[in-house]
Amino acid sequence: METQKQLLVFILCSYLCFFPSGLIDIKTKRSLQVQYYLVTNPYLILVLFLMAENYGVEGPTHNERHKLYGFRPTKLFVFGDSYSDTGNVRKAIANSWKVPYGITFPGKPAGRFSDGRVFTDYLARYLGLKSPTPYRWRRYAGKRLRYGMNFAYGGTGVFDTTAPEPNMTTQIDFFQQLIHDKVYTQEDLASSIALVTLAGNDYGAFKARNGSAGLINFIPLVVNQLVVDLKRIRGVGLKKIAVTALQPLGCLPQSTYMTSFQRCNGTENMLVGYHNLLLQNAVAKLNTEAKDTSFVILDLYDSFLSVLNDKGKILGSAKFENPLKPCCLGMSSDYRCGSIEENGSKKYTVCDDPGSAFFWDMVHPTQEGWRAVYIALQSTLEHLY
């Protein structure tokens, strides 16, 4: 029965998440697809009926029930990967510590996988906090410990990936140890927010080890483990937990370079839709179970596509003329952003203005790209208060 239910969900994703024409207005595309398939495909009617109850869970009643009026966060705790890492990953294994990373902010490589600020920095600013100290540098943090801590490590996932860094389970272990050591009290936690990012490294590692066969069966395992991690974070006493939906992997430059950065990979985005639908259902269930904790999904899928489709114009951010093309590129498939030869010669190119590009490298947004995503998420971020 569970397999049949997942298959029905996957059918829905196939119709609503597959974008064969690459970039296209999201609302228009979905509206046309729904109208067409409701007429031509009776299975979709069944799927919509089965899913309607779950979609209704996160309506106004749910938000009103869980909204903590007067809540003002004092700390931000971060778990995840390179979309939120601000300096944990080791210098020896990551290009984020090499030129030209960090050229916009802070002006030199500082461990962020971008030319400047990443999503963690923007969320901290929104909350009125300074960006939390990376766990790796906690002994040098001093008074900055009062803003929380960042446990995210680039390249990691909920399971072990190809990156030799702590997965999310271990990151939460680090957090619990600090609580045990009384670095943070229960009062601290009660006025804190957690950010959890998952950018798809588990899927990349799966394909590297097994190919694409069986990937769809792996997706529920990833989401289930993510839910376990979310419950653990809730269990330590945090009242507000924000978790990111998976961004459109098919629109990352590593997927669009085969079309000269002109078109998204619809098949990959279809699988992302399946992941996000399972996550939405799981978070809705968590919110019905939680008495005094609120989980909020930060929809990177729609926010990325909104910026890419509109090239940033409607949102008032930078205008990205070719939003799928990264600013920093390896000179061939053998190289990547930041690659250098033994003699010191650069094997990458950097665009003249990183602020005019949405993507920095083959996976990560620029600082301006993250700013545009942050603007697109404004209405959702309000639920953190």
- Condensed to tens digits (0 to 9), the pLDDT of residues 50-72 reads 333 333 333 333 234 234 446 78
276 vs 251: CA distance, rounded Å: 16
> pLDDT, tens digit, for every residue of 300-359?
999 999 999 987 665 555 689 899 999 999 999 999 999 999 898 999 999 999 999 999
Q: Which CATH number fits domain 60-309+366-384: 1.10.730.10, 3.40.50.1980, 3.40.50.1110, 3.50.50.60?
A: 3.40.50.1110
Q: pLDDT band at residue 372, thresholds of 50, 70 and 90?
A: very high
pTM equals 0.84
pLDDT at 38 over 90: no
Per-residue pLDDT at 26 exceeds 90? no
Q: Where are the domains of the chain?
A: 2-56, 60-309+366-384
pLDDT of 290 reads 82
pLDDT at position 68: 42
Contact 241, 290 (CB under 8 A): no
Tokens of 112: 């962020």
> Which residues partner with 240 through β-bridges?
193, 294
Question: In terms of pLDDT, which residue wins out, 99 or 64?
Answer: 99
Name the percent of the chain in helix, strand, coil, to the closest 5. Answer: 50, 10, 40
Q: What amino acid positions are annotated as catalytic residues?
A: 82, 361, 364
Q: Which residue has the higher pLDDT, 184 or 37?
A: 184
Strand 328-330 and strand 348-350: the pairing is antiparallel
Check residue 385 and give its pLDDT: 86
Q: What is the rounded average pLDDT of the residues 6-32?
A: 43
> How far is the C-alpha of 114 from the C-alpha of 361, rounded, in Å?
8
Q: Under DSSP, is residue 224 helix (H, G, I), strand (E, B) or coil?
A: helix
**Residue 199 clears pLDDT 50, i.e. is over it:** yes
